[in-house]
Structures are given as C-alpha cells and as structure tokens.
Amino acid sequence: MEQDYPKFEVILVDDGSPDEETSDLLQSWEGEFARRDWSIVRLDNGYLGRARNAAARVARGEYLLFMDDDNVARPFMISRFVRAALSSEADLVTSVFDVFTGTEPPDSQTKPVERYLPVGGILSFSVVGNAVGDANALMRRSTFERLGGFSEDYGLGHEDFELFLRAVLAGAKTAVVPESLFWYRRNSASMLSVTHAEANRLRSLRPFLEGLPAPLAELAVLAHGVAAASCFPPEPSVLALDNAAHLSAEELRRLDHTDPDAPSAVAIVCKALMLSNQDRIAAGILADICHDENLAVESAERIAAIEALMMLHTRAGDTDALQRILDDQLDLGLSKQSVARLYGLATPTLFENPETHTVGIAMARRQLELDPDDISGRLVFSQYLLNDGAIAEALPILDEALVLADREYLRLRPDIGRAVAQQQFACGMDHFAHHGRLENAPWPEAALFRKAVEQLCRAIQSGERPAITLLPEAAQRIRFALEAFARPTEAQ
C-alpha cells in the first residue's frame, strides 16, 4: 500500500491456511479490499502453482506481478518493474533482491545476509540452478496465458523456475533490474526448506526435456546431475522445521544414523511433514510403506508408518479412514495385541474431541476385546468414562483391570497367593491395601490405578449417585482399591 506507483490492484490468495489468526486478519481486510476494488480469493490448499494461477484468472491488468507473503516490497518495486518492462519491451522482468532472516520485517537498519544477482534468460547456467530470478517477478499477461501459467504439482517448489525456463525456451524476452526491489525472507519453515530438493530440481528440468531435441535434453539432464553432485552439498535427511523439536531425541538420532531411504527414516520425515501441515504428502508416502510387501507385518518400520498415518487421520478427525487402517492390519496378519495397542494410540485424541468422542468410546471397547489382558487400556478407558460421569459403565471396566492386576500381583508374590488360597486375604488387592503398600510392594500399573480411583471419587462427589449393581467380589475389590489409592476422606 506504500508503493509509489498508483495503478495496481491486489489479488490476495488464501491457499487453505488453517490458522484462525490468518482467517481473522483477512476478514478484517475485506472492507478495505472492497473499497479499493481488490480481491481476496480463498482456496483449499493446493500449493503455489494453483494459488498463483487462481490469482491470475481474477487479475485485470496487462502485467502480472507475483509476490509471496513472506517477502517485503520496497516502496519503488512496482514502478521499477513497470519502467523496465516498458523500456525493454520484455515479457518477463526479474530483479536483484536482498535476503533477510527472522520474523520481524526489515527496516532501514537491516543488513542483508545475502544479495541475489540473477542474470536472466541464460540457459547454460540454468541447467545448474535458477539464474533467471525469483517468483517475485513481472510477467506480461499474454505471455503467461500463452505458456499456460504455472504447473500445479502439489508438495513441490521450483514452479517459478519451471515457468521462467519455459518462457525462455519459447523465445520470451527477459530483463533484469540491477537494483534490489524487494526483501526475500529465508527461514527453516519456508517452502523450499520443507520440500524435497531433488524432486524440486527435477521439476525445473522438465522444460529442457519438453523444449529441446532429445540429445540436447539428455545432455542437460547429465550436466545437471554432475553439477548437483559436485557443486551442492548433500541434502539433510531431516527436514529443517521450526518445530523439529517435536521429534524425539531418539527419532533425530535415527535420522542421523539411518539410511535416509530406509522406511523407518521415511516414517520419521513424514511425521515432520505432518508437523509442518503437509498432511497430503505424508499420507501418500506412509500408505506406500504400510502396504510394502517387502516389509514384515510386525516390522518396526511398518508399525512406525502405521502409527504416523494414524496420527494424521486422528488429528484430522477422519474416523472412517482411521477405522479402515485398523481393520486392514488384522486382515494383513498383525497380531490382536499389536492392533489393540494401535487402538490405544488413537482413542485419547478421539475422546478429547466432542465430534469424535462417541467413536473413541467404541474404539476403546474394541481395543479391550482384542487384548483381554490389557490393564492400562482398561484403566485409561475407565477414566474417560468417569470423566463423562458414566460411573455405572466405568466400574465393571475398572474391576476388570483390578482382576488382571490382582492376578499379576499374586504371580509375583507366591506367598501371598498361598495366603489368599488359605482365605487369609480375600484377594491380592486386600493384601496390598492393608499391608503391601505399607511395605512399598509394587502393584501393577499403580500410577494409573491411582488416577482412576481419584477420578472415581471426583465423579461420585460431583454428580448424582446412580444405582449400581456389582457382584459382591467386584464391589469388595473396588472398596480395597479405594482404601489403597484414595485419600482417607475420599475413600469414606
């Protein structure tokens, strides 16, 4: 809005941003945009090529100037671009630009960390890298339309380089403004930092393959490969993300010491992609790993891929896709205990979302059916039921956990088992409540039992007390559990 050139319109494209703050900001701008006869276009996420093409269809000017939201224009940017285009009669005008880092916009005191000097339409160097210029460039509309606009590959960069090379190969005239017209922001979450570098470079080779005779096209590919291997450092195996801290230390260690093409490494990178909201790319890669016939059904690599794919669908609330994944694992031969553990990974998130809460309860019940010896799963499920105030439904499941834990306690303490057989104690929990806990004897999943009992006490104190029918043995075990894990006032 501070440009010294008055005759321009702005087409702002929201490419499916999930950020509520962004949505609120765009909504606050709608009045100003309407007053200026500008446009805000909202799309589902389709990546830069599709977003820019959508903007070009709406724009009305003779020239198109593309600009990303992380760049910062200098006040004279548009006027210099227009002057260069008119004086040179160029179809494509790029410029020198300065690179900055960080989240704060540059000012008069900002020193560039790098200055990029494009050379325009010199094809020889473009085999190695982008010498034409940044996407923040001016292109004649008729040239843009004749070329068909940007390609719309999802999840890749270099769409600007690809279009510029097609323009040069098609005979378009290019020009470079030898002055920095804008600031280019570089950070670890920028698009080129989170997309596949080799795939990006291969995208920029397509114009050579399409526009040159076969021998020259092959030579271009060969030259590109040799230059990339000798001039550029290997790409890191882990994506450079601001939120890479969400990867565990073990995951980062495995990435450092594992073949980057190994399924386990790919699964971790897919997790990083999901943390960067690149869900569609991650889903496709993970699905391939899950159905890789070369991987054993119970292999760590395959299980890691399944867990990551489940995380994706759970976060999206896509319970149908989640259920299909879990059903497939039984059909493919994964053990019931392993599938039950996968159910256990999904249910906590489903419980917390009101829209998927009912599905979470159904999946929790299925988890317990698959693994009848799962103590922790029963305790977690009983806690969620108690949180809903469903005391009558929770108590039988809590008692199932008590029976399993009691059995394990007696297995580890044969002397107590004999005492129970001689009716000195009603059960293992009877001994633990009155003797074992005072002796610091270990009780299976004691921490989870304590949480479940505390939740039971809160549920009873905060709501109506429903009529509950329990077998005498079950009621006795729960009374012992209250004595063992609740505070005296709560147990009473």
Helix H, strand E, coil C: the string for 26-86 is HHHHHHHHHHHCCEEEEECCCCHHHHHHHHHHHCCCCEEECCCCCCEECCCHHHHHHHHHH
Q: What is the mean pLDDT of residues 86-100?
A: 93
pTM, 2 dp? 0.47
The residue among 144 and 212 whose pLDDT is bigger is 144
C-alpha–C-alpha distance, residues 489 and 478, integer Å: 16
Neighbours of 166 (CB within 10 A): 20
Is-contact 308 270, C-beta < 8 A?
Answer: yes
Of the candidates 229, 253, 279, which is a domain's last residue? 229
| Residue 108 located in a structural domain | yes
Instruction: Determine the residue type at 292.
Output: D
Largest CA distance in the chain: 104
- Joined together, the tokens standing for residue 471 give 């077998």
In 3D space, the residue among 175, 157, 178, 179 whose CA is nearest the CA of residue 167 turns out to be 175
pLDDT band at 295 (very low <50, low <70, confident <90, very high): confident
Of the ranges 293-302, 324-333, 336-345, which one carries the lowest mean pLDDT score? Answer: 293-302
Coil, strand or helix at 3: coil
| Residue 261 located in a structural domain | no
| φ, ψ for residue 114, nearest 5 deg | -165, 150
| Cβ-proximal residues to 416 (8 Å cutoff; 6+ apart), any chain | 409, 410, 425, 428, 431, 436
- Joined together, the tokens standing for residue 186 give 């570089």
Residue 13: its H or E element: strand 11-15
**Nearest-5° Cα angle at 204, 202 to 209:** 80
| Residue 122 located in a structural domain | yes
Neighbours of 241 (CB within 10 A): 18
| Residue 455 located in a structural domain | yes
User: Given the structure tokens 């030259």, which residue do they identify?
Assistant: 223
Cα atoms in the Cβ-side hemisphere of radius 13 Å centred on 293: 0
| Residue 447 located in a structural domain | yes
C-alpha–C-alpha distance, residues 235 and 190, integer Å: 15
The residue among 313 and 271 whose pLDDT is bigger is 313
**Nearest-5° Cα angle at 387, 381 to 393:** 55
The CATH number linked to 172 is 3.90.550.10
Share of the chain above pLDDT 90, in %: 34
Of the ranges 30-34, 110-114, 191-195, 301-305, which one carries the lowest mean pLDDT score? Answer: 191-195
C-alpha–C-alpha distance, residues 428 and 332, integer Å: 39
Q: What is the pLDDT of residue 241?
A: 36
Of the candidates 229, 248, 275, which is a domain's last residue? 229
C-alpha–C-alpha distance, residues 3 and 74, integer Å: 8
Coil, strand or helix at 466: coil
Is-contact 307 272, C-beta < 8 A?
Answer: no
Is residue 247 scored above 70 in pLDDT?
Answer: no
The residue among 408 and 322 whose pLDDT is bigger is 408
Tell me which range, 185-194, 210-219, 278-287, 378-387, is most confidently predicted by mean pLDDT: 378-387
User: Given the structure tokens 């929990």, which residue do they identify?
Assistant: 429
Q: What is the pLDDT of residue 176?
A: 92
> 445 is in which domain, residue-wise?
373-492
Of the candidates 212, 229, 246, which is a domain's last residue? 229
C-alpha–C-alpha distance, residues 346 and 369, integer Å: 16
pLDDT band at 194 (very low <50, low <70, confident <90, very high): very low
Output the average pLDDT for the chain.
81
Is-contact 297 313, C-beta < 8 A?
Answer: no
- Joined together, the tokens standing for residue 248 give 């565990």
- Joined together, the tokens standing for residue 158 give 């270099």
| Residue 288 located in a structural domain | no
Spell out a b/e string for 327-364, using b for 16 or more CB atoms within 10 Å of the CB, else e: eebeeeebeeebbbbbbbebbebbbeeeebeebbbebb
Is-contact 375 401, C-beta < 8 A?
Answer: yes
Tally of structural domains, the chain? 2
In 3D space, the residue among 391, 326, 386, 313 whose CA is nearest the CA of residue 356 turns out to be 313
pLDDT band at 188 (very low <50, low <70, confident <90, very high): low
Of the ranges 209-213, 334-338, 425-429, which one carries the lowest mean pLDDT score? Answer: 209-213
Is residue 244 scored above 50 in pLDDT?
Answer: no
Coil, strand or helix at 219: helix
In 3D space, the residue among 270, 296, 359, 286 whose CA is nearest the CA of residue 323 turns out to be 359
Is residue 98 scored above 80 in pLDDT?
Answer: yes
Taking the CA atoms of residue 405, residue 350, residue 371 and residue 486 in that order, the dihedral angle to the nearest 10 degrees is 10
| Cβ-proximal residues to 135 (8 Å cutoff; 6+ apart), any chain | 48, 52, 66, 68, 159, 160
| Residue 156 located in a structural domain | yes
C-alpha–C-alpha distance, residues 338 and 307, integer Å: 11
Q: What is the pLDDT of residue 145?
A: 95
Residues linked to residue 94 through DSSP beta bridges, in sequence order: 176
Is residue 32 scored above 70 in pLDDT?
Answer: yes
